[in-house]
Structure 1
Amino acid sequence: MARSLVDILTSHASNQPDRTAYRYLVTGDSGGEIQDISYGRLAARSRAVAAWLQERGLAGSRAMLLYPPGLEFICAYLGSLSAGVVAVPGVPPRGRSQNHRALTRMRRLMADADAQVILGGREVIAALGTMAEHLPELAEITCVATEDIPDEAAGSWREPDLTADSVAFLQYTSGSTSAPRGVMVTHGNLLDNERVITERMGHTPDMIAEYDHELFVSWLPVYHDMGLIGPVLNTVYLGATTTLLSPLHFLQQPGRWLNAVSRFRPHTSGAPNFAYELCLKHATPDLLDGLDLSRWKVAFNGAEPVRAATLRRFTETFGAVGFRREALYPCYGLAEGTLMVTGATVGVPPTLIEATETGPHAGAEDAAAVSSGRPGAGTTVVIADPERQEELPDGEVGEIWVGGASVAKGYWRNALATRETFRATLKDANGANGVNEANGQDSGRKDRTGRFLRTGDLGFLRDGELFVTGRLKDLIVIDGRNHYPQDLELSAEMSHWSLRPGCTAAFSVDGGGVAGGPQDDVAGEQPVIVAESAPEAAGEAEKVIDLIRSAIGEAHGLSVRDVVLVHPGTIPKTSSGKIQRRASREAYLAGTLAVVGAPATS
């Protein structure tokens, strides 16, 4: 039985050395230059990196991985694991143009992880050499371009002594509500979550054979859990083939993603909701004419709120080229759970709860709540009252708690946060039956004993399916009523064509006065909306603001304190595309928002 992905890679290299593990689209274009690597070559390069680390006595230490998109990161990541070194994926620097915020994050991660070595591509290592004055700690850290490690080094590789509890890597959280923390993901966590992904996404041996081993197409950043644990590591876990392209190449031309899916015909591909919106925005007749999406079986959508409107429009637009509604696959996960917690059922359209059932958007089909699916086998999902820490019945909103072997070990060198987040217990463990009597399906709600991960996310269960409603700390409470910022943001975005989907922040401020905002004598918290607006609508700013106010007043019964329209791309987001509402609120209070329309006054 495999103890780690290292054992699995060794097996693939022996049994299918010539099979392509990954191909990389160098220019992002399916018809352009392609680099690929076989399982035999992947194992050899990983062992060369591992041997280099072992010879320098670095087993057990932390190695920061700084790579541009491409295949070298994968060799370094698997090389670190093969050496018994804890990998720390990071965002590579961009030379002298690196901004202050990115440098601050890099410094924080290097210090927190106590990294003793930096592995990177040649250009990255060269760029680090020019940044000594900004990162003086580099003087104490060994930096190496792994391309320069010779193949012959693999001959001295020694198999590491790994157990299920050995830490494989630190996944630093993207920090949507707090400073980044290093999640300790063990080898056992990785294997269990790959099992969950495989089971929930239907990655069976028969499917792999049917698709000729073409498993994923992905442009997702590999330094983030969604791009790493899913497309990259599930490929190694199953011995399949995956096509990769750069996130930048996707953002430049979103059609490249769909072209790659059309050409390489994988079973699975996906991204956060905003990526589907970008594809819709660029869905020209020329793009559609060249696509065939009929083989796309799992189009996963996670990491940020899944919009019913996006699912509908994507199906309507790309149904003409073979995309099926049954391929839509909302899912939910987080770094602290390694990645996947719940996922839809393959081949079944997503479950929606119409707005008439959920409240303020009565009659608005596009505002329906979207199910994130069911837990994987062995994963327990509980909805708990965050204060009383008692389980809530189906349909009631509370904090999402998760149990199972995929739940990570804790936060690196942060015992207090680990105890608060990873060691929760239910005060009343007499939960509901773990089997849904209506359909006989396991709801993932059997075990009520033991410790749970407190996700900080809000949601509810219905017929065994999870519906995510927001973040606990982002909850807006006005006059004793709870309002989810996602609901306010959706109402705002639906009010005018110029408002960019997934680029609105709703939060509350005290009524006593704000720098750059209106002043009044109203006590208590009041909602504020900050929304990115298309530049061509700058002349309609007042009209757009009025429409936002009306939409939120009508749908939620709220009087909005302030509405601010800002330039595209200026609302703070995490590396996974989640809105940073706290950072947006701080910018609003400081008067530093990039305003394109004058703020309206109450």
Structure 2
Amino acid sequence: MARSLVDLLTAHASNHPDRTAYRYLVTGDCDGEIQELTYARLATRSRAVAAWLQERGLAGSRAMLLYPPGPEFICGYLGCLAAGVVAVPGVPPQGRAQNHRALTRMKRLLADADAKVVLGGRDVIAALDGMAEHLPELDGIARVATEDIPDEAATAWREPELTPDTVAFLQYTSGSTSAPRGVVVTHGNLLDNERVITERMGHTPEAIAAHGHEMFVSWLPVYHDMGLIGPVLNTVYLGVTATLFSPLHFLQRPDRWLTAVSRYRPHTSGGPNFAYELCLKHADPDLLGGLDLSSWKVAFNGAEPVRPATLRRFADTFAPAGFRREAFYPCYGLAEATLMVTGGTVGIPPTLLAAAAGTPNAGEADAAAVSCGRPGPGVTVAIVHPERQEELPEGEVGEIWVGGDSVAHGYWRNALATRQTFRVQLPGQDGRFLRTGDLGFQRDGELFVTGRLKDLIVIDGRNHYPQDLELTAELSHPALRPGCTAAFSVEAGEQGERPVLVAEIAPDRAGEAEKITDRIRSAVGEAHGLSLRDVVLVQPGTIPKTSSGKIQRRATRTAYLDGTLSEVTAAPVE
């Protein structure tokens, strides 16, 4: 029995060395340059990286991974696992607009993880070497471009002693520029969640054979849990083939995703809801006429709210290209549970509930909730009253708690947060649960996610912490009152969730409202890459707070939607 993905990679390299593990579309185009990694080559490169790490006595330490999109990241990641080194996927600084933000996050992660080495692509390592004198965080940290490690190094690789409790990697939750939280994922967590994904998504030997081992097409970022644990690592788990390309190339031309699905005919491919919306915006007769989506069995939709209207419009629009409504596969997961918690049933359309009657299989136009499917085998989902911490009856909305071997061990070097989030228990039940901070209810064994108990804002599949947006806004203009700003998101029709910012200003600065609003929009756009749907400037004392002085964002959002805020002025809605 395999103890880790390292064991499975070794087996695949031995049993079918010439099978393609990963196919990478360098330009995002099927007819452009393509790089391929066979299982034999993947094993060699991973072992070469592992041997380099082992020879420097780095087993058990943390390695920051900073790669541009491409197969070299996978070799580096698997090399860490094969060396018993804890991988820490990160986003490399790239481009002017994101350079400062990526650098700030990279520095925080380096410090929090106490990384001893940085693995990356040649350009990234060269850039870091050039900035070393201005980055004291890099002092004493080895840096290597893994492309430059020779294949011959693989011969020195020694198989590590890995157990289910050995830490495989730290998955840092995305979006925050405050104190980062690294989720501690073990080899046991990884194997269990790959088992869950395999079962829930129908990756059976029969399905693999029917698709000629072509199981995935993905443009998802590999340094985030959905892109890494799903398409990349389930490929190694199963010994199949995945076609990958850069998120940037998808955003530039969303039709590349559908073209790759049509060309390579995978079983599974997907992304957040916004990705399907982007495809709809670029759908035209020429594109539809050249697609064949009939082999697409699992079109997963997760990481942000699944919208019934998107499902209907996408299915209707791409039906002429062979897309089937029953291929849609809403799912729910989070990094703290490694990835997948619940998923649909392959070949059956998603369950939709109507707003009023709560009847199943409502039409998309009047549906209020989309089922995210059933828990995977060995996964327990409970709906719990967040204050009383008592399990609620079916149909009642409460906090989603998750139990099982996929639940990660906790937050890196944060015992208090680990105890509060990962170590909770239900009266009369054995085992520990994970508090997700998400709200939902269960009906007939299916999970419906309705919102977030926590204040995390998810825009176009990216997480943003409201505290970060609020701080950026307050620093943009001296008229804004410190600690008196609230950020939240609202529904904006087909655009999905969009951010809104409400801020108190000094009464004598009301005449500058337009200028202040422009400053806020510009600062938030530059720092977070977000376009604010609305900026509302209000009188002092308007924003509700708790007795301890904490901003009540949900109450502010309710007042905004009700139109009861005491506005100084409001910027026009875009």
> TM-score range, shorter-chain basis?
0.7 to 0.9
User: How far apart are residue 92 of structure 1 and its match?
Assistant: 1.1
Q: 1-side partners of 2:193 and 2:409: how far apart?
A: 13
8 Å Cα contact 1:67-1:91 kept in structure 2: yes
The aligned counterpart of 1:236 is 236
In the TM superposition, what whole-angstrom CA distance separates every residue of 1:472-501 from its partner, at most 9, and x where no partner exists?
Answer: 02399xxxxxxxx99x833xx23xxxxx61
The aligned counterpart of 1:453 is 434
Instruction: Give the match's secondary structure for 1:77.
Output: helix
**Which of 454, 463, 470 matches 2:451?**
470
Residue 489 of structure 1 aligns with an amino acid whose one-letter code is: V
Q: 2-side partners of 1:30 and 1:92: how far apart?
A: 26
Q: 1-side partners of 2:108 and 2:207: how far apart?
A: 43
Instruction: Give the match's secondary structure for 1:185.
Output: strand
Instruction: Give the match's secondary structure for 1:458.
Output: strand
**Which of 546, 549, 563 matches 1:559?**
563
8 Å Cα contact 1:172-1:182 kept in structure 2: yes
Q: 1-side partners of 2:447 and 2:74: how far apart?
A: 33
Residue 274 of structure 1 aligns with an amino acid whose one-letter code is: F
User: How far apart are residue 558 of structure 1 and its match?
Assistant: 2.4
Residue 158 of structure 1 aligns with an amino acid whose one-letter code is: R
The aligned counterpart of 1:145 is 145
The aligned counterpart of 1:158 is 158
The aligned counterpart of 2:36 is 36
User: How far apart are residue 523 of structure 1 and its match?
Assistant: 5.9
User: How far apart are residue 225 of structure 1 and its match?
Assistant: 0.3
Q: 1-side partners of 2:36 and 2:243: how far apart?
A: 9
8 Å Cα contact 1:27-1:249 kept in structure 2: yes
User: How far apart are residue 365 of structure 1 and its match?
Assistant: 2.1
Task: Summarize the Cα distance change of 1:522–1:409 in structure 2 as closer, same or farther, 3 Å threshold.
Answer: closer
Instruction: Give the match's secondary structure for 2:12.
Output: helix
The aligned counterpart of 2:499 is 505
Confirm or deny that 1:60 pairs with 2:60. yes
User: How far apart are residue 354 of structure 1 and its match?
Assistant: 1.1
Q: 2-side partners of 1:376 and 1:505: how far apart?
A: 33
**What is the CA RMSD across the aligned residues, in angstroms?**
3.1
8 Å Cα contact 1:508-1:528 kept in structure 2: no
Instruction: State how 1:204-219 maps to structure 2 within 5 Å.
Output: 204-219=204-219
Task: Summarize the Cα distance change of 1:93–1:518 in structure 2 as closer, same or farther, 3 Å threshold.
Answer: closer
Instruction: State how 1:202-351 maps to structure 2 within 5 Å.
Output: 202-351=202-351
Q: 1-side partners of 2:542 and 2:69: how far apart?
A: 50
8 Å Cα contact 2:112-2:180 kept in structure 1: no
The aligned counterpart of 1:365 is 365
User: How far apart are residue 19 of structure 1 and its match?
Assistant: 0.4
8 Å Cα contact 1:307-1:367 kept in structure 2: no
User: How far apart are residue 510 of structure 1 and its match?
Assistant: 8.2
User: How far apart are residue 104 of structure 1 and its match?
Assistant: 1.1
Q: TM-score, normalised by structure 1?
A: 0.79
Instruction: Give the match's secondary structure for 1:129.
Output: helix
Q: TM-score, normalised by structure 2?
A: 0.83
Task: Summarize the Cα distance change of 1:334–1:87 in structure 2 as closer, same or farther, 3 Å threshold.
Answer: same
Unaligned runs of 5+ in 2: 458-486, 511-515, 518-535, 546-550
User: How far apart are residue 525 of structure 1 and its match?
Assistant: 4.3
8 Å Cα contact 2:502-2:537 kept in structure 1: no
Instruction: Give the match's secondary structure for 2:310.
Output: helix
Task: Summarize the Cα distance change of 1:110–1:333 in structure 2 as closer, same or farther, 3 Å threshold.
Answer: same
Q: 1-side partners of 2:115 and 2:390: how far apart?
A: 40
Task: Summarize the Cα distance change of 1:599–1:512 in structure 2 as closer, same or farther, 3 Å threshold.
Answer: farther
The aligned counterpart of 1:545 is none
In the TM superposition, what whole-angstrom CA distance separates every residue of 1:150-172 from its partner, at most 9, and x where no partner exists?
Answer: 00000010000000000000000
Q: 1-side partners of 2:129 and 2:200: how far apart?
A: 45
Instruction: Give the match's secondary structure for 1:130.
Output: helix
User: How far apart are residue 140 of structure 1 and its match?
Assistant: 1.7
In the TM superposition, what whole-angstrom CA distance separates every residue of 1:283-316 from its partner, at most 9, and x where no partner exists?
Answer: 1222111111011000000000111111111001
8 Å Cα contact 1:353-1:370 kept in structure 2: yes
Unaligned runs of 5+ in 1: 430-447, 477-484, 495-499, 530-548, 564-588
Q: 2-side partners of 1:55 and 1:378: how far apart?
A: 39
Structure 1 window deviating more from structure 2 (105-114 vs 281-290): it is 281-290
User: How far apart are residue 136 of structure 1 and its match?
Assistant: 2.1
Confirm or deny that 1:73 pairs with 2:54. no
Q: 2-side partners of 1:475 and 1:398: how far apart?
A: 17
Instruction: Give the match's secondary structure for 2:24.
Output: strand
8 Å Cα contact 1:254-1:282 kept in structure 2: yes
User: How far apart are residue 144 of structure 1 and its match?
Assistant: 0.3
Residue 246 of structure 1 aligns with an amino acid whose one-letter code is: S
User: How far apart are residue 137 of structure 1 and its match?
Assistant: 1.8
Residue 269 of structure 2 aligns with an amino acid whose one-letter code is: S
Residue 435 of structure 2 aligns with an amino acid whose one-letter code is: R
In the TM superposition, what whole-angstrom CA distance separates every residue of 1:18-44 from its partner, at most 9, and x where no partner exists?
Answer: 000000001100111111010011001
In the TM superposition, what whole-angstrom CA distance separates every residue of 1:207-266 from its partner, at most 9, and x where no partner exists?
Answer: 000000000000000000000000000000000000000000000000000000000000
The aligned counterpart of 1:489 is 490
Q: 2-side partners of 1:312 and 1:136: how far apart?
A: 52
Instruction: Give the match's secondary structure for 1:131.
Output: helix
Q: 1-side partners of 2:221 and 2:86: how far apart?
A: 19
In the TM superposition, what whole-angstrom CA distance separates every residue of 1:53-104 from its partner, at most 9, and x where no partner exists?
Answer: 0000000010011111111111110000000000000001216665322211
User: How far apart are residue 366 of structure 1 and its match?
Assistant: 5.1
The aligned counterpart of 1:395 is 395
User: How far apart are residue 367 of structure 1 and its match?
Assistant: 4.9
Task: Summarize the Cα distance change of 1:184–1:475 in structure 2 as closer, same or farther, 3 Å threshold.
Answer: closer
Q: 2-side partners of 1:11 and 1:297: how far apart?
A: 27
User: How far apart are residue 368 of structure 1 and its match?
Assistant: 2.2
8 Å Cα contact 1:562-1:599 kept in structure 2: no
8 Å Cα contact 2:216-2:269 kept in structure 1: yes
The aligned counterpart of 1:421 is 421
User: How far apart are residue 131 of structure 1 and its match?
Assistant: 2.0
Task: Summarize the Cα distance change of 1:266–1:599 in structure 2 as closer, same or farther, 3 Å threshold.
Answer: closer
Q: 1-side partners of 2:364 and 2:213: how far apart?
A: 41
The aligned counterpart of 2:45 is 45
Q: 2-side partners of 1:97 and 1:523: how far apart?
A: 34
